[in-house]
Structure 1
Amino acid sequence: MNVRRYQARDMREAMRLVREHQGPDAVILSSRRVDGMLEVVAGTEVGAGAGPASASLALESTSPASTPALSIPVDPELAAMRRELCDLRSLLVQQQALSERDQWASRHPLAAEFVERLMKCGFNEKLARSLAGSIQESTPAEEAWSRLRTRLSAAIATAQPSVLERGGMLALVGSTGVGKTTTINRLALRQIRRMGPESISLVTLDRQRLGAYKQLQAFGQMAGIPVMLLESERDLVTLASRARDGNLILVDTEGRAARDVAERKLFAQVRQQIDLETWLVVPATHQASVLRQVLEAFQSCEPSALVLTKVDEAEQLGETLSVLLEQSLGLAFYSDGQRIDEDFHKADTAFLTRLALKEPASPARPEPQRPAAERTTNRAFEHAQVTRLPVTSQTRTEQESMVLESVVPFRKRVHAAY
């Protein structure tokens, strides 16, 4: 605030001096009689009115004869008054915003109801008002809500990557504990069912977490697929040159904090030499601010799709979907449980939207009959798991400790599309 002190014969002359030097927005802070003259202290916000902009608080004395202004030490009482005025200004701005919101709600009661409902589900206010802003107040409430739900579902980006069909090298990246290794197992099982165990290999670069390689190794032994522990990213170049056409290589990576990923670009040394696709694995349990930080940090890994895990553990899935709607990466798969097969699904935005809105899902459609070739592959895979390893106490203990009983192919639950 720019604060000045003026001396005049009366208040009319003092007001004239204040307007001339500080403009009509100036505020009279105090006035008193000094040696027969009226002393007035006035102030304006920095950059407002006609007064000069100043970053520091200065008090200037102006006489009727237009004597030069002199800077004097800051008066503690004026400084306290300045703080009170700033607080008052902030309060008035808040009150004005609340008043405008109430006025909007009174003019659009149905939209206001929907905004409140969305915010209770975790969606941020900006998104909620955007979704509800197109609602016609004359539309029946149930129909309007159905349209809003459809619009929200359609706004969530999805991805249909071709790497699972054509083969190649696919790496999963993400923070520690988000479910990368479990997702690798799930993708591998899906690929085995479709193409057979000879079409897939598992690779891990995670040499920090003790159980990561053992978990993949146990799965590989049960499924009859190779599992490799690599020393560094450069070993991927040699592996890619030896891979057969159409073979899918799934790469598990070490979990990293967002700040570490920003400092070191993963796969930067080998990306120009091999055809490598990366997917980012994120949990639905992250707070919005943390999820935004993770999405921004892992952009250096050039992910082409997202995998959303721990959907069943999210208290407010709307908070997660709000963040996903802010970025362009498409959702490829999501998981909503611990079972390797039954709780892993292709992206179904209609189902996720209903889940976020805390609405009951419609009855699932009957699962279509699997092709004969796929049924044959499933039977062969089940038989392979029974005969692959000799049943010993050590094997039984390892399998039980890894909780891999759901690796046996189950019938997959189908979420209905709305």
Structure 2
Amino acid sequence: MNVRRYRAKDMSDAMRQVREQQGADAVILSSRRVEGMLEIVAALDTEDAPSAHSAPARSAGRSSAARSAGGRGQVSVDSDLDAMRRELTDLRHLLVQQNGASESAQWAARHPLAAELVAGLNECGFNEKLARSVAGGIPEDTNIETAWSRVRARLSSALVTEQPDILERGGMLALVGPTGVGKTTTISRLALRQIRRMGRDAISLVTLDRQRLGAYKQLQAFGQMAGVPVMLLENERELADLAVRAGDGRLVLVDTAGQAARDVAEQRLFAQIRSEIDLETWLVIAATHQGRVLRQVLHAFQGSDPSALVLTKVDEAEQLGETLSVLLEQRLGLAFYSDGQGLAEHLHAIDTLYLTRLALRETPLTRSAPIRAPAQQSPARPLGSAAIADRLGPLDQGMILESVVPFRKSAHVGL
């Protein structure tokens, strides 16, 4: 144990002396004012950071103790040193925690309004760094209602959105993402949206998911009910061949097998055929994922070059603020989100204002009427709320994807 006493004019000068003499690992044991000077006592655990002078002396001392007590004194000395080392480590951690708490308390005392906003955002799941960034800059004399309005506006405008035109012009669109996020259901929802707008002749469904038999049956059940072709392909090469035969203006929706983030990170989906065909990919993510998991998913699926995000299971998220915190860290835009089990009425074009209000727990999940988005965005409206009798029959409108029932129609296996 290397213990030294220092005198300095202030604490910064004392800390400089400690760092120069004993290094950054030294711990201040006490401080006091003596004759107008600041006197501190600092200690360094020489077991962790031995010096050239202390190491031989310690070694000689141990050898002497071992010879004088037959080895029993050595055990006692080592035990005392270990206990002192643990105490110093605990003291160091305590000082760090107290220093952090003191800084937070001082900041909250200087900025009471911002501290209240940050506390509210933290409670909703937004991380500390984002919360301070959003709350910063709001004048302290602002009333709380106006302050929350500004926080809401900042979060809403910061969320990146995407308005892809592939649904208008047609082409090949593949949905990728981990298992269980709702890719197959989202495929069916997008297909129904396209049928309502363009007719059933403008859509085809393809699945590359040969791992889950239920996924193909679910998509096939929808295809038979809606009267659109469904194909089960073996590999990406067959997808390239299909792209050659597909007509202009037709939308081909491609369902893919779910993969764990650690597995997909080692490969690049569609890498072999992307240069041959015009293929767009969207990444489907679930709002129920923890922030750490969601970051892993976004990073892992970068290799599939997604151009937009689809956020599912919004209604099941315990803290939507945690999800939005992650989305605000990256630049991939949101295109759609879903918030229920319904096939048509629970898929929405992105509305950042509504999602922000939902994350801040300012609005119930049930939407009695569409909430208008900011001027630069299209208003979000439930899909399928209007009748589609001209495109689908009465039985089709009440379909349940999770049920696979026999149909009189034959399976569609081609374009």
TM bracket, shorter-chain basis: 0.7 to 0.9
Aligned counterpart, 2:302: 299
**Kept in 1: contact 2:173–2:252 (CA 8 A):** yes
CA 1:45–1:164: 2 relative to 1, 3 Å: farther
Matching of residue 364 in structure 1 with residue 364 in structure 2 = no
Question: For 1:27-38, what aligned pairs fall within 5 Å after superposition?
Answer: none
Please list the CA deviations of residues 228-278 of structure 1 after superposition, one character each: whole Å capped at 9, or x if unmatched: 000111111100000111111000000111111012221111111111111
Aligned counterpart, 1:113: 116
**Kept in 1: contact 2:345–2:385 (CA 8 A):** no
Matching of residue 283 in structure 1 with residue 275 in structure 2 = no
Question: For 1:320-399, what aligned pairs fall within 5 Å after superposition?
Answer: 320-360=323-363, 364=369, 378-383=388-393
- Deviation at residue 308 of structure 1 after TM alignment: 0.5
Aligned counterpart, 2:44: 44
Gaps of 5+ in 1: 13-18, 30-41, 47-54, 369-373, 388-395, 405-418
Match of 1:382, SS state, is coil
**Kept in 2: contact 1:59–1:71 (CA 8 A):** no
Please list the CA deviations of residues 99-141 of structure 1 after superposition, one character each: whole Å capped at 9, or x if unmatched: 1111111111111111111111111111111111111111111
Matching of residue 203 in structure 1 with residue 213 in structure 2 = no
Between 357-366 and 115-124, report the one with greater CA deviation: 357-366
Matching of residue 58 in structure 1 with residue 50 in structure 2 = yes
Matches of 2:48 and 2:179 in 1, distance apart?
48
Matches of 2:78 and 2:352 in 1, distance apart?
62
**Kept in 2: contact 1:60–1:71 (CA 8 A):** no
TM-score by length of 1: 0.76
Aligned counterpart, 1:223: 226
**Kept in 2: contact 1:194–1:377 (CA 8 A):** no
Q: Percent of pairs identical after alignment?
A: 64
CA 1:68–1:184: 2 relative to 1, 3 Å: closer
TM-score by length of 2: 0.77
Matches of 2:19 and 2:209 in 1, distance apart?
69
Q: Paired residue for 1:148, among 132, 146, 151?
A: 151
CA 1:295–1:20: 2 relative to 1, 3 Å: closer
Matches of 2:211 and 2:358 in 1, distance apart?
36
Matches of 2:304 and 2:333 in 1, distance apart?
15
Please list the CA deviations of residues 54-83 of structure 1 after superposition, one character each: whole Å capped at 9, or x if unmatched: x95437656xxxx98675669442343223
Matching of residue 138 in structure 1 with residue 148 in structure 2 = no
**Which AA in structure 1 matches 2:324?**
L
Matches of 2:130 and 2:401 in 1, distance apart?
46
Question: For 1:65-144, what aligned pairs fall within 5 Å after superposition?
Answer: 71=59, 75-144=78-147
**Which AA in structure 1 matches 2:391?**
F
**Which AA in structure 2 matches 1:284?**
A
Matches of 1:126 and 1:21 in 2, distance apart?
30
- Deviation at residue 158 of structure 1 after TM alignment: 0.6
